Structure 1
Amino acid sequence: MDNLLAFFGLREDPFRLTPDPHFYFPSRVHQEALHSLEYIIKNREGFYMITGEPGTGKTTLINVFREKWKERAEIALILTPRLTPDDFLVTVFEALQLQTVGKNKNDLFRELKDLLIEKYFAGRFVIIIVDEAHNLPTETLEELRLLSNLETNKEKLVQIVLIGQPELENRLAHEQLRQLDQRITERIRLQPLTLQESAAYIGYRLGKAGKNNVRLSARALRRVYRFSRGIPRLINLVLSRTIMAAYIDHDPSIHERHIIYAIQYLAGRRTKRKRAGYKTTAFALIALLVLSLGVFGLVHVFSRSESGKDKGNANREKESPVTTISSSTIPLEPHAAAIPEQVVISRHPVYATVKYDTVNVRSAPSREAPRIGFLYKGTRIALLEKAQDTDGTIWHKVFEYEKGSGWVSQEVLSLEGDANNPS
């Protein structure tokens, strides 16, 4: 594992599947969900619902929220929603550190109300988060509605967050759950990433894992997007195996062929080696080595024989140009130019980090220039060129391609080292 990470200039695995808040990618819809959730909690407005297809980042989003609010709130996270109403209540009470042994339901509700009032006057919040809420029995959903009746004359004493797949929306539309549906103050559905957001997502995670040497061809990026449909978990899944394939190939560039091998592995099919020079015995030995190292799981890997080197290199030259996918990648809006086939990065670029949640990228060093995309807070970018507009504002070019370039105001950047003087 260490050798693989060092090869690509990484400190840690950028595409592991665990919902780690450190790798939270602040896309437009995810930031909207996080901000609206915080608004509902601060204003004690009761129910909030987040839905989305599997792998769209619901759990990661909630983990980010919990990390931000752990000092301000008592949070009961329920991960096993297939519970009867009584079992569900016991789980909630235990998560809030209330004793349940030897007490009936009335006793529990009385203790819960006392706790909520105590926390309310202490300025703290009590939040119940139910993951996989689409699996809740109807009777348990109704019990949740009764819990939300605990309130003052003006505000709810407990906020309830429902997280689930789109089936949850359909269930709440049924007549028997109409009262609960009417109490949901805000609801949002997480959408898959666009192609441009997927490119930014990949670069963001690589940047979080350490300044990297990974290069991804435009064709490979599009292949990843077609396979994943913009679902972050699937992007992680295919790229975790793709990076291993490129590493075994001793290639710092990820090409379309590496993506294809990874997809075929995930589909459970044997890859037919069409190019000369790949030896079955070498593949078996490398696969066993990879398994013993525990690197990204078992993957379809390959080794180039001495007799096939020239042919392999010739084929590689015919592939599409390489786009540097790093923390400086810009997600363009739908009306903007397509993803460039070649991003030009200076040989020894200097760097800066974005200071604000979302900042504009413009087609020229001027506030009047059209906005062609945006960058997210914490993104580390290479500064290629510096310019000053008529108002005295300093601008930095952050990428260029055959149809134009992208510029960001220095006001929204934290400069590193000699970043004031990029060449």
Structure 2
Amino acid sequence: MYHAHFGLRESPFHITPNPAFFYAGNERGDILEAMLYAIGHGEGIIKVTGEVGAGKTMLCRMLESRMPPHIDMIYLVHPNLDPLEVQHAIAAELGLSTHGLRADEVQRALHAELIARHSAGRQVVLLVEEAQAMPLDTLEAIRLLSNLETARSKLLQIVLFGQPELDDNLNLSSMRQLKERITHSFAVPAMAPALTGDFLAHRLRAAGHEDGALFTPAAARLIAEASEGIVRRINILAEKSLLAAFAADADVVEARHARQAIAESPFGRRRGLQGRRRWRVVALSAALALLIAGIYWSILAAGANL
């Protein structure tokens, strides 16, 4: 509804990952290039971790969009699979029919298909999303798939995307073999506060705005603080701020619009409540300190009068 008002051709802050809006700053471009290099050289298992909403799925989509034509990308998006189910799922992604096959038969079918693709000059890359939620024995089954190789290269390249809990799982002694197969680990950082304004401007330009200068520095600072650098939260707050500015018939998003957006957001309210609680604790501590000091000086004064 506000597109024409702000000179936009589409909404700039959708939370659905769209490669057209990829922001290469804050290490994201460097991580993407390193992942492309690692996949291109067939170097072991790659791990990408980050908090919820940090931008892992966007990196996954960018990886897909940048893959050369000879690479076949397959996905595991449902983590709650047992070891046999995960083999069937991978086989289905490769176009194989495995109905009624035993586990060893599925493995042989997978191996044969991967060898055939390798002989045809193709490379297969498996992208595993929400890997932190996978059962440990399923992760181990995926590790065993990474053993499939020729004398010179892996038949299946694996990229694990997950929340920081994935590292907790990999640190278990039972997971040490999988952990040792990981040759590249990347952590998607929270958005640096100083870059939030640039991130907002980049998204606005990608959506058609002439120069991206819609958020005042004060508004960007408020969004950076309230979002704690989580990209999904930044997008949610920016969208709400644009709506608030549009409703006020303003030409730019000012601090007052950002405050309104923060007040209407669940995490913004939670942060405000935590802030109020901290101030209450500080005030109570100060009052208690004054009371103790008063008692102490009263005792001293009474002693001096004896």
TM-score (norm 1): 0.61
Query: In the alignment, is the contact (CA less than 8 A) between 1:214 and 1:252 conserved in 2?
Result: no
Q: Deviations over 1:126-172 (max 9, x none)?
A: 11111000000011011011111101122211001100001111110
Deviation at residue 62 of structure 1 after TM alignment: 0.7
SS in 1 for 2:27: helix
Given residue 64 of structure 1, which amino acid in structure 2 is its aligned partner?
M
Measure, in 2, the Cα distance between the counterparts of 1:129 and 1:141: 13
Alignment map for 1:176-195 (pairs within 5 Å): 176-195=174-193
Where is the helix percentage greater, Structure 1 or Structure 2?
2
Q: Which residue of 2 aligns with 1:262?
A: 261
SS in 2 for 1:39: helix
In the alignment, is residue 216 of structure 1 matched against residue 215 of structure 2?
yes
Given residue 107 of structure 1, which amino acid in structure 2 is its aligned partner?
E
Measure, in 2, the Cα distance between the counterparts of 1:144 and 1:182: 14
Q: Deviations over 1:45-85 (max 9, x none)?
A: 22000000111111011101112227322221111111111
Measure, in 2, the Cα distance between the counterparts of 1:16 and 1:239: 10
Given residue 127 of structure 1, which amino acid in structure 2 is its aligned partner?
V
In the alignment, is residue 251 of structure 1 matched against residue 264 of structure 2?
no
Deviation at residue 28 of structure 1 after TM alignment: 4.4
Q: Which residue of 2 aligns with 1:103?
A: 101
Q: Percent identity?
A: 35
Alignment map for 1:188-203 (pairs within 5 Å): 188-203=186-201
SS in 2 for 1:254: coil
Given residue 239 of structure 2, which amino acid in structure 1 is its aligned partner?
S
Q: Which residue of 2 aligns with 1:138?
A: 136
Q: Which residue of 1 aligns with 2:272?
A: none
Alignment match of 1:114 (pick from 109, 112, 115): 112
Deviation at residue 121 of structure 1 after TM alignment: 2.2
Structure 1 residues 30 and 268 mapped into 2: Cα distance closer, same or farther (>3 Å)? closer
Q: Which residue of 1 aligns with 2:78?
A: 80
Given residue 242 of structure 1, which amino acid in structure 2 is its aligned partner?
S
Measure, in 1, the Cα distance between the counterparts of 2:195 and 2:117: 40
In the alignment, is residue 232 of structure 1 matched against residue 231 of structure 2?
yes
Given residue 96 of structure 2, which amino acid in structure 1 is its aligned partner?
L
SS in 2 for 1:216: coil
Measure, in 2, the Cα distance between the counterparts of 1:70 and 1:57: 22
SS in 2 for 1:12: coil
Q: Which residue of 2 aligns with 1:20?
A: 18
Q: Which residue of 1 aligns with 2:66?
A: 68
Measure, in 1, the Cα distance between the counterparts of 2:89 and 2:217: 49
Q: Which residue of 2 aligns with 1:389?
A: none
Deviation at residue 223 of structure 1 after TM alignment: 0.4
Q: Which residue of 2 aligns with 1:241?
A: 240
Query: In the alignment, is the contact (CA less than 8 A) between 2:200 and 2:215 conserved in 1?
Result: no
TM-score (norm 2): 0.84
Q: Deviations over 1:355-400 (max 9, x none)?
A: xxxxxxxxxxxxxxxxxxxxxxxxxxxxxxxxxxxxxxxxxxxxxx
Query: In the alignment, is the contact (CA less than 8 A) between 1:214 and 1:254 conserved in 2?
Result: no
Query: In the alignment, is the contact (CA less than 8 A) between 2:197 and 2:215 conserved in 1?
Result: no
Q: Number of aligned residue pairs: give it.
A: 268
Q: Which residue of 1 aligns with 2:146?
A: 148
Q: Which residue of 1 aligns with 2:39?
A: 41
Measure, in 2, the Cα distance between the counterparts of 1:116 and 1:68: 22
Measure, in 1, the Cα distance between the counterparts of 2:165 and 2:205: 35
Measure, in 1, the Cα distance between the counterparts of 2:233 and 2:70: 34
Structure 2: gaps (5+ residues): 270-306
Given residue 259 of structure 1, which amino acid in structure 2 is its aligned partner?
A
Structure 1: gaps (5+ residues): 271-423
Given residue 222 of structure 1, which amino acid in structure 2 is its aligned partner?
R
Deviation at residue 215 of structure 1 after TM alignment: 2.6
SS in 1 for 2:215: strand
Deviation at residue 195 of structure 1 after TM alignment: 2.0
Structure 1 residues 28 and 195 mapped into 2: Cα distance closer, same or farther (>3 Å)? closer
Q: Which has the higher contact order (CA 8 A, sep 6+)?
A: 2
Q: Which residue of 2 aligns with 1:317?
A: none
SS in 2 for 1:55: coil
